[in-house]
């Protein structure tokens, strides 16, 4: 049996897409199977920015070509362990071998706090604990290089004030898993179309949007345009996945998201060729 046939069979067998849908998947309790949702936004961009990844940080987003140890800081001095704003954050991503990992960081205002782990990518950060304000006082950065007033030279993940978690449509399939994309959603401002590209690449190769999860979409709506997939797009470990956007008018903004299921290779590989 071919790989894609096996993956589709296992996805439908274990996750019961047609009967239950995504929201029930995570609650099925199937050992080793996990579900996720990556969502992001570009607060403001224009055609001159080109086609850029959908996230809130500085573009172009910089993939790191070797293992790194990032630091975390806020651009507001009151985001500290004993402060009124954000106190503790969690960063998530993959280690240099591609395994999933996470780390809890106690904030120290604008002073960068180094990670104790080594990473190949950071694709999520969220506020774990806050003070009386209930949210971060400033924007929190995970990054590399010199920090100036809490802002790093290279941004890897950011949490803007009021969000309490990253907004980035960037993900790398961890080691030992296949990733099945189950839906994609897009949002733009009415009257300002945005061209979205759903992109994938094998590790350290150029991104290829001629072979995306789905066809290129031009979206000109002010409500979600969602593709329910059953599933569409199945990718092996170490694959980088992202959504990029191209503005057609100045002062545009956009949001998008993709949902996925991670299937352990051990649930699939034994069926290939059977």
Residue 34 sits in the same domain as residue 78: no
Nearest to 125 by CA among 144, 139, 111, 145: 139
pLDDT at 16 over 60: no
What pLDDT score does 22 carry? Answer: 42
Q: Does residue 63 form part of some domain?
A: no
pLDDT in the model for residue 206: 73
pLDDT of residue 260: 87
Q: What is the pLDDT of residues 49-100, one digit of tens each?
A: 999 999 999 878 999 999 999 999 999 999 999 999 999 999 999 999 999 9
Would you say residue 66 lies in a domain?
no
List CB contacts of 191: < 8 A, sequence separation 6 or more.
Answer: 220, 249
State which residues form the domain around 190: 3-56+169-271
What is the tally of structural domains in the chain?
2
Span 197-224, mean pLDDT? 64
pLDDT at 210 over 70: no
Task: Identify whether residues 154 and 173 lie together within a single domain.
Answer: no
- Among candidate residues 153, 131, 150, the one with its CA nearest the CA of residue 140: 150
Q: Is residue 107 part of a domain?
A: yes
90-113 mean pLDDT = 98
């Amino acid at each position: 049996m071919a790989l894609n046939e096996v993956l589709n069979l296992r996805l439908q067998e274990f996750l019961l897409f047609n009967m239950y849908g995504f929201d029930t998947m995570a609650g099925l309790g199937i050992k080793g199977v996990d579900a996720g949702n990556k969502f992001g936004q570009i607060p403001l961009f224009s055609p001159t920015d080109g086609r850029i990844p959908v996230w809130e940080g500085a573009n172009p987003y910089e993939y790191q070509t070797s293992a790194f140890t990032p630091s975390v800081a806020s651009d507001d001095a009151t985001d500290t362990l004993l402060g009124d704003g954000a106190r503790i954050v969690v960063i998530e991503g993959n280690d240099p071998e591609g395994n999933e990992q996470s780390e809890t960081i106690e904030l120290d205002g604008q002073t960068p706090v180094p990670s104790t782990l080594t990473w190949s990518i950071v694709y999520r950060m969220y506020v774990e604990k806050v003070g009386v304000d209930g949210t971060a006082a400033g924007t929190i950065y995970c990054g590399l290089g010199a920090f100036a007033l809490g802002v790093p030279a290279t941004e890897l993940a950011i949490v803007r004030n009021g969000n309490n978690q990253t907004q980035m449509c960037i993900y790398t399939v961890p080691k030992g898993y296949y990733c099945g994309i189950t839906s994609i959603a897009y949002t733009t401002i009415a009257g300002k179309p945005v061209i979205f590209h759903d992109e994938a690449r094998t590790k350290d190769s150029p991104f290829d949007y001629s072979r995306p999860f789905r066809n290129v979409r031009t979206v000109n709506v002010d409500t979600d345009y969602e593709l329910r997939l059953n599933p569409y797009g199945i990718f092996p470990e170490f694959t980088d996945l992202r959504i990029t956007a191209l503005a057609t008018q100045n002062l545009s903004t956009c949001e998008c998201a993709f949902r996925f299921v991670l299937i352990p290779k051990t649930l699939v590989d034994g069926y290939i060729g059977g």
